[in-house]
Amino acid sequence: LSDKLEALAKDYPLILPPYFVLILRAFGTLEGLGLSVDANYAIIDECFPYVARRMLADDSPRMRAALQSFVYGGGDRLKVSRVRSIAAGFSDFTNNMGETETVAAEAAAALAARADGAGPAATSAA
């Protein structure tokens, strides 16, 4: 992606916001780390559940167009495999969010216990 943006920048004056450049660098770094462990790694596979949720839950014209493009693949026939894929992605996102909320609640409880002096940090400090 960054190579394509660089090529476009040579032909057209293009100024990217600094936060966007940082996001690209972060994704590039994460993809590089993933590829060093698994030659078939693709960061988009990790992001797809979030993207699926956005396409299904966001009712803006832009997201509706993205969803239509995804499930029809630019043609006029529904691609069932893509519908299954986006449904699975949405399900994965929903399941992961439940796990994340559980972990966050446990972490918050542990921090609260430490602040009250009842947690492991208070015991080891004594």
Contact 39, 55 (CB under 8 A): no
42 DSSP assignment:
-
Query: What does the block give as tokens for 76?
Result: 């006029």
Residue 100: the pLDDT is 67
Note the pTM of the prediction, 2 decimals. Answer: 0.53
pLDDT per residue as tens digits for the range 41-90: 888 888 888 888 888 888 899 988 988 888 888 888 888 888 888 888 87
Confidence of residue 124 (pLDDT cuts 50, 70, 90): very low
Spatial neighbors of 64 by CB under 8 A, at least 6 apart, are none
Residue 108: the pLDDT is 73
Among positive and negative, which fits the CA dihedral 75, 81, 83, 88? negative
Residue 123: the pLDDT is 44
